[in-house]
Amino acid sequence: MKNIAAFIDINAGKLSSRSASIIHLIQGFQQVSETPIKVDLYVFSPIDQIEIPTVSSVSLHEIVNLNDSGILSKNQMDTIISKFSSEAYDILLGYKSTLVDSIMARASAELKLPLIPQIVSINLAPSEMMIKQSIFSGKALSNLKIGYASVLQLNPSFAYKPLHESLMKVESVKLTLPNSTSFSVSTINKVPQGANLGDANYVVGAGRGLKDPSNWGMIEELAAKLGAATACSKPVSDINWRPHSEHVGQTGIKIAPKLYIACGISGAIQHLAGVNGSKTIVVINNDPEAPFFKYADYGIVGDVFDVIPEIVKNL
């Protein structure tokens, strides 16, 4: 029997599109498995009940509410890992995020399961998986054949086609984490409201070309008009102009929206590593030689302080 734990996101009471891909992958596991599989879903936002597409013989065991404070104390992490050990999972599944990554890394060590990062596609056979991984900051892909027991970290561009569309209701079960914390907080960055960056279809990113944090009003206005999430380059979050939750790139969040608008960002290779999964890239930069233009589908050579208000006015 395969014993699976998966991290999913719920947006406005519905499975996010990437979580739907996780459920479809679980259906795929069931299709190739000769024995029944047991699935526990873990979600960070409080929910009562959701509908999940599944095939009838998958038993969706429980949904555990974790508190999404963005960081887990040692005690909280210990509680989660001891739950994972007692359930003896063979497969852990989740999209890359700071919280999920921290749990996956610890679980991989404790459950003695290999951690496979940056997965862009999986093909399933009865006794092994053929995995494609993004490597060298997204510049190359590597192929890996591996048995099922593993911790699978999915890239934002990962998608798995649905096999079935029938629905099943799932009850939520609460895992209570200890309140005690073993860290102190020195600064708190306000996370802007709006679309979830990792899951967003439209993203407006801005860099040092914005000159000052007080100039982000027009970026937020453009994002609000498009229903987009906001992102930034690393130096912008390093100097606290924007929260670290918005930092995209090699060392930040990897995004794969339908549209990425990059404003006043040079297009350094480390930034591109996080955004090159975007379907359409629009670059606004006043330097015609900015490297980002080489990777843009559409480029506007101009001053962000002229171009963005003009776009906002016309939307």
Ligand X SMILES: Cc1cc2nc3c(=O)[nH]c(=O)nc-3n(C[C@H](O)[C@H](O)[C@H](O)COP(=O)(O)OP(=O)(O)OC[C@H]3O[C@@H](n4cnc5c(N)ncnc54)[C@H](O)[C@@H]3O)c2cc1C
Question: Phi first, then psi: what are they for 167, rounded to 5°?
Answer: -110, 150
End-to-end CA distance of the chain: 54
**β-pairing, 91-95 with 150-154?**
parallel
- Torsion angle (degrees, nearest 10) of CA 248, 253, 259, 264: -10
Q: Which is nearer to ligand X, 252 or 277 (CB)?
A: 252
Taking the complex as a whole, the smallest distance from the CB of residue 106 to ligand X amounts, in Å, to 23
Taking the complex as a whole, the smallest distance from the CB of residue 103 to ligand X amounts, in Å, to 22
Per-residue DSSP letters for 164-202?
---EEEEEEE--PPP---S------PPPPPSS-GGG-SE
Taking the complex as a whole, the smallest distance from the CB of residue 290 to ligand X amounts, in Å, to 4
Rounded to whole angstroms, the Cα distance separating 41 from 33 reads 19
Q: Which is nearer to ligand X, 94 or 207 (CB)?
A: 207
Task: List contacts with ligand X (CB under 6 A).
Answer: 207-209, 233-236, 249-252, 264-266, 268, 270-271, 274, 284-287, 290, 303-305
Taking the complex as a whole, the smallest distance from the CB of residue 162 to ligand X amounts, in Å, to 32
Q: Which is nearer to ligand X, 192 or 302 (CB)?
A: 302
Q: Which is nearer to ligand X, 154 or 300 (CB)?
A: 300
Q: Which is nearer to ligand X, 257 or 264 (CB)?
A: 264
Among 194, 266, 179, 186, CA closest to 230: 194
Taking the complex as a whole, the smallest distance from the CB of residue 137 to ligand X amounts, in Å, to 9
Taking the complex as a whole, the smallest distance from the CB of residue 284 to ligand X amounts, in Å, to 6
Give whole-number Cα distances, 230 to 196, 197, 223, in Å: 9, 7, 6
Q: Which is nearer to ligand X, 28 or 249 (CB)?
A: 249
Reported as half-sphere exposure (CB side, CA atoms, 13 A), residue 129 has a value of 22
